[in-house]
């Protein structure tokens, strides 16, 4: 499990101020220009000269922290450190200045208080904590700059500035590794005198700065090179320093300028980066690292890196910024679901085949009717007033017809079979005799046969069975 060290500027709204405070900057009294210990962080300070004024800050972390400010003896004879508490426990405080014995001095980025496993955070557990800083000396000014604290393990970030390798507060930092050519320095920095020795930094963010020590005799000389993400190394030089500044009691050597900006990389693509720093300082000098500032990823930038993919591997962002963002489980179809799809497709296929087959049958029937002259069947119904004429009736009518040739009287219809003498026998055929009707019907049948014989033979098409009582639409 890894942690990160988070910077909280004095202008952060999470810091609660009580009493009389004034907002000031590094431009007042030329604090940035006259300091041998770097510029004011973010160029903002909160100043108080009133006894009992205080500030408080609640945070989630391990309890380890540092409080930084500016020493300015311009308007006061000395520097008295504030009193700091973590969860009600005293922390370390730092001051080496004695009132009345100092020339005018300015020093930024000075450690005022510290809480660690020995004092302040000895019994602290990862979780919520509260820091209190109280100004107790009205004869001196308290110039508060920023807080740096250690997060809980595997904590997510949201665009904060992270500090890396600050040995004034932390015994070690897992986000940077040094090879054998580096050693701890007396001023809590890390120094290398071996050319080509390197330090490797891993971070998640969009920018990073290196701050270190510059000696007056190495001003503007080549300091080293850096390579970001396996790209070609880029050389960097020591910045210009003002040799005319008076010696400072806040540095370990008279010719030192500490916590100076050596290089600044910004506008990097969001994501994990690897920075390699290589010592190329001239003979007799050294590359001295105070710490680094890294710009962490915002939540939006973190989310943009987690795009679902169908590839076997997916992007994961490791420490120092651990992000807990599980992906939705991949949806998969069960065998039952596949069977339903197959059954539905099969059923639809057979329905389509049946529909096409039915259309073909109808089409063939209509073609057959047009070719053979078929007409739909018509049902013939016999009314009750009609009587069925049998073969016996026809024979009897034929016999009677012979007798009727001699009789010019009125014809009588043949009696149906089974009729009695009492049944009516007045069925009359007024148009012609029964024999004549039969002859006419025979002539019609013969005529129909001749017409059919004269027609061309129908094409050899398959016969289609027509159901009883069929009626074409």
Q: Please, which residues have CB within 8 angstroms of residue 309's CB and are 6 or more apart in sequence? A: 315
Of 217, 237, 220, whose CA–CA distance to 284 is shortest?
A: 217
CA-to-CA distance for 378 and 471, rounded, in angstroms? 9
CA-to-CA distance for 307 and 303, rounded, in angstroms? 8
Instruction: Judge whether 44 lies within some domain.
Output: yes
Q: Do 5 and 91 reside in the same domain of the chain?
A: yes
Question: What's the CATH number where 4 sits?
Answer: 2.60.120.260
| 235-293 pLDDT tens trace | 999 998 887 776 666 665 677 899 999 999 999 999 999 999 999 988 778 899 999 99
Burial group, residue 305, by CB count within 10 angstroms (0-12, 13-18, 19+):
middle
Instruction: Please give the helix or strand (H or E) that residue 346 lies within, else none.
Output: helix 335-372
| 397-420 pLDDT tens trace | 556 555 544 444 444 444 444 444
Instruction: Judge whether 429 lies within some domain.
Output: no
Tell me the residue range of the domain where 138 lies: 1-155
Instruction: Judge whether 384 lies within some domain.
Output: no
Q: Do 188 and 278 reside in the same domain of the chain?
A: yes
pLDDT in the model for residue 375: 42
pLDDT at 167 over 60: yes
| 339-365 pLDDT tens trace | 455 556 666 666 677 767 777 766 666
Q: Identify which of 29-43, 316-330, 433-447 has the greatest average pLDDT.
A: 29-43
| 85-136 pLDDT tens trace | 999 999 998 865 544 445 557 889 999 999 999 899 988 899 999 999 999 8
116: DSSP letter: B
In this structure, what token pair is assigned to residue 332? 């998969």
Residue 463 pLDDT level (bands cut at 50, 70, 90): low
Q: Do 168 and 151 reside in the same domain of the chain?
A: no
Report the helix count and the strand count for the chain, using DSSP H and E.
5, 22
| 422-434 pLDDT tens trace | 444 444 444 455 6
Q: Do 17 and 110 reside in the same domain of the chain?
A: yes
Out of 155, 188, 222, a domain closes at 155
In this structure, what token pair is assigned to residue 379? 């049902």
Instruction: Judge whether 351 lies within some domain.
Output: no
Instruction: Judge whether 134 lies within some domain.
Output: yes
Query: CA of 65: how far to CAs of 26, 43, 170, in Å?
Result: 23, 21, 9
Q: Do 85 and 21 reside in the same domain of the chain?
A: yes
CA-to-CA distance for 151 and 66, rounded, in angstroms? 13
Please state, as a whole number, how many other Cβ atoms lie within 10 Å of the Cβ of residue 359: 10
CA 265 to chain centre: 28
Q: Please, which residues have CB within 8 angstroms of residue 130's CB and are 6 or more apart in sequence? A: 56, 57, 58, 59, 86, 87
Instruction: Judge whether 465 lies within some domain.
Output: no
Out of 300, 326, 341, a domain closes at 300
Mean pLDDT of the chain: 77
Cβ(94)–Cβ(59) under 8 Å? no
pLDDT in the model for residue 290: 96
Residue labelled with tokens 């009132």: 99
Q: Please, which residues have CB within 8 angstroms of residue 86's CB and are 6 or more apart in sequence? A: 63, 65, 115, 120, 121, 124, 129, 130, 131, 132
Out of 300, 316, 347, a domain closes at 300
Number of domains in the chain: 2
CA-to-CA distance for 38 and 41, rounded, in angstroms? 9
| 93-107 pLDDT tens trace | 886 554 444 555 788
Instruction: Judge whether 266 lies within some domain.
Output: yes
CA-to-CA distance for 293 and 160, rounded, in angstroms? 10
Specify the higher pLDDT residue, 404 or 227.
227
């Amino acid at each position: 499990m890894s942690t990160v060290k988070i910077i909280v500027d004095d202008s952060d709204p999470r810091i609660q101020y009580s009493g009389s405070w004034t907002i000031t900057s590094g431009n007042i009294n030329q604090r940035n220009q006259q300091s041998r210990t770097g510029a004011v962080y973010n160029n903002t300070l909160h100043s108080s000269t009133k006894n009992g004024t205080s500030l408080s800050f609640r945070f989630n972390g391990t309890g380890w922290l540092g409080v930084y400010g500016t020493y300015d003896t311009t308007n006061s004879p000395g520097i008295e450190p504030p009193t700091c508490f973590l969860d009600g426990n005293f922390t370390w405080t730092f001051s080496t200045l004695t009132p009345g014995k100092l020339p005018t001095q300015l020093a930024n980025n000075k450690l005022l208080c510290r809480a660690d496993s020995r004092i302040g955070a000895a019994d602290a557990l990862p979780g919520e904590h509260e820091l209190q800083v109280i100004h107790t000396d009205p004869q001196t000014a308290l110039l508060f700059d920023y807080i740096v604290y250690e997060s809980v393990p595997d904590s997510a970030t949201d665009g904060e500035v992270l500090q890396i390798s600050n040995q004034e507060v932390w015994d070690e930092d897992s986000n940077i590794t040094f090879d054998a050519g580096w050693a701890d320095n007396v001023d809590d920095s890390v120094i290398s005198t071996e050319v080509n020795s390197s330090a490797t930094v891993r971070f998640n963010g969009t920018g990073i700065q290196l701050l270190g020590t510059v000696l007056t005799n190495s001003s503007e000389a080549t300091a080293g090179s850096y390579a970001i993400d396996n790209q070609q190394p880029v050389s960097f030089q020591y910045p210009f320093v003002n040799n005319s500044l008076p010696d400072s009691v806040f540095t370990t050597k008279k010719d030192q300028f500490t916590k100076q900006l050596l290089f600044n990389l910004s506008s990097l693509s969001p994501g994990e980066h690897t920075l390699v720093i290589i010592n190329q300082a001239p003979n007799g000098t050294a590359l001295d690292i105070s710490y680094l500032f890294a710009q962490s990823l915002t939540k939006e930038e973190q989310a943009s890196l987690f795009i679902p993919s169908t590839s076997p591997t997916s992007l994961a962002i490791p420490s120092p910024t651990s992000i807990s963002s599980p992906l939705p489980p991949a949806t998969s179809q069960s065998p039952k679901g596949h069977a339903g799809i197959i059954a539905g497709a099969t059923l639809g296929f057979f329905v389509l085949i049946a529909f096409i087959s039915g259309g073909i049958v109808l089409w063939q029937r209509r073609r057959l009717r047009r070719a053979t002259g078929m007409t739909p069947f018509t049902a013939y119904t016999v009314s009750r007033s009609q009587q069925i004429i049998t073969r016996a009736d026809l024979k009897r009518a034929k016999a009677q017809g012979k007798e009727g040739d001699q009789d010019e009287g009125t014809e009588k219809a043949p009696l149906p079979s089974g009729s009695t003498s009492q049944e009516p026998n007045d069925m009359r055929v007024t148009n012609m005799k029964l024999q004549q009707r039969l002859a006419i019907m025979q002539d019609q049948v013969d005529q129909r046969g001749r017409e059919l014989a004269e027609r061309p033979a129908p094409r050899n098409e398959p016969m289609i069975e027509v159901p009883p009582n069929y009626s074409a639409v």
